[in-house]
Chain A
Amino acid sequence: MNPVFEVSNLRKAFGGLAVTNDVSLAMAPGDRVALIGPNGAGKTTFVNLVTGNLSPDSGEVRLGGEAVTKIDAVGRVKRGLVRSFQVTRLFQDMTPAEHVGLAVLQRDGKAKRAFGNFLAMSDVMTEVDELLGKLGLASLMHRRVSEIAYGQQRLLEIAVALALKPKVLLLDEPAAGVPQSDTGRIEQALADLPGDLAVLMIEHDMDLVFRFAKRVIVLAAGAIIFDGLPADVTRDARVREAYLGSYANASHIA
């Protein structure tokens, strides 16, 4: 299958330090990839390069075959590259319905309409109802975000991303900060993501990585040191070295 998302030879240095060093990867529709790596491996920089918040020194980012390296972050969102945030970024005094409604309107290019209330636009509301219903947020749809639990805010982040109908979804630690009791709901939401969507998840929680990903990429010191099946990742010598004293070794000792 043709890749929907492709990064080739991406490089970025701050001063003399190569933070992203010749990174290449490709994803096809339906891929479930986890990007892991120790702290300081360059995951955040990689995300910023891909989303267009930073521009690379060299290399290329392609979306659906089109080079988007010169296109800004907004343009990439419009072309189907959507991200969620590690710390939820929601509008505290707005409701889930308003969040998803705004995303739907934005996607359809109707967010500049200066008349009419979207609550009365049946096409928008049908989609809002459906999306929030799927994620179990229907009963909260008219509450303010500041009044709903953090786990539910996490789900809302996913709902907003999905409302934009992405082709490629970057999930930045989708379960970070969520109490253990609520992670099941989030994992369920991740399992229910559309089948043709390419998902790249950045995650620290290895249990979640193993349950979600069909492929794991390990980033260390700005370079990809492993790209393969989840089952092989803990056995890889270079990965162990990179994680010295952390998860891979710890599990061995235990």
Chain B
Amino acid sequence: MALVMNSENERLQHQRRFSGDLIGITAIVAIGAIGYFVFPDNLALLTRMITIALLVLSLDLVTGYCGVATLGHAALFGSGAYAAGILSAHYGINDPLLMMLAGIAAGAIAGLLSGAIILRAHGLPQLVLSIALIHLFHEFANKASSWTGGSDGLSGIAPDPIFGLFEFDLYGQTAFFFGMTLLLVVFVLLRFLVRSPFGMLCRGIRQDPLRIRAMGGSPMAALIRMYVISGAVAGVGGALNAISTQVVGLDSLSFTQSAEALVMLVLGGTGSLFGALSGTVIFMLFEDYVSAANPFHWLTMVGALLIAVVLFAPKGLFGTAAAFVRRRKEARA
């Protein structure tokens, strides 16, 4: 009897999770489509949103799922961007897929390096290490100007058409669809990752690393691995940025970019892929709209929005909405 009930339970959970996947994919496609038809002249903004969404998803993996405090996550993103850019500008390898691979590899290596340093400390010292790290990456890119173009930025990136068919056009159509495809693929892969045994192990480490050790698990090894995966995801974002804008600036490797990513993640809600995505979209739309409506006070309004969210919806906008829906469902059941 108990077994029957359990397999029933199991099936229900499966269905719920599977439908969660479908809803997620549908939502991403729908929001992408709405964006495409509402801002047909501003596809560059949408593509920029996708690149930042990849950065925020990547940050969510280490901060939301593993509890690592970092204000230096753009180091992974920027490494991906520069690797893809340098491949094209200095080596003349212009195949966007190869550039993407270079971005992923560079992001993963930067993740390994960052993880190996940041994970040595916990709490505030960890945060300080991450800040030191992003400044080092930034300064390195600044000084290695023969490779990176320094403060002028890296230009001369000229990606070929994708599969030799889809040329990167002036209107940003190809870049947008390329970005949407990448985002969907990454999203599905991450959905698998976060509820795999490894994802569960990381959630456990976030809550109580000592407990995981008492179960015979090694928190450090798991966190480093997650950092590498996170770096690969950020690298996708960085490479997409290099390919779509055809320029890489030092700002992609900056403290500001890192901090903004963290703000977006907190806005949407940590520890949830949907939280990371919705936080990015809401923040960037709000920023775009308010900065156009009131160029003098837009930063004030962004600040006010953040304070309101942190005070009244501490789980983030998506987190709070999800908790509300769950409560309603339970009340009805």
Contacts and interface: CB of A to CB of B under 8 A. Distances in A.
A111 B203 contact: no
Interface string A81-118: 01101000111111000100111011100111111111
Contacts of B208: 89, 91
B329 to A, nearest CB: 15
Contact of B197 (A51, A85, A90, A105): A105
B215 A89 contact: no
B125 interface: no
B215 A129 contact: no
Given A102-B204, A112-B222, A141-B6, A91 B197 contact: no
Interface in B1-49: 2-3, 5-6, 9-10, 13-14, 17
B214 interface: yes
Contacts of A89: 208, 210-211, 214
14 contacts: A82-B214, A85-B214, A91-B204, A94-B200, A98-B200, A106-B216, A111-B198, A113-B197, A115-B196, A116-B197, A119-B10, A120-B10, A129-B6, A139-B2
B201 interface: yes
Given A94-B203, A119-B10, A133-B2, A77 B197 contact: no
B213 interface: yes
Interface of A: 51, 73-74, 77-78, 82-83, 85, 89-94, 98, 101-103, 105-107, 110-120, 125, 129, 133, 138-139, 141-142, 160, 164
A146 to B, nearest CB: 11
Main secondary structure of the interface of B (DSSP, over half): helix
B3 A112 contact: no
B216 A114 contact: no
Given A101-B197, A133-B2, 7 more contacts: A85-B211, A91-B211, A94-B203, A110-B197, A114-B196, A118-B197, A142-B9
Rank and list the top 3 A-B pairs by shortest CB-CB distance, nearest first.
A77-B216, A89-B211, A114-B198
Contacts of A115: 192-193, 196
Contact of A113 (B14, B198, B203): B198
A82 B217 CA distance: 12
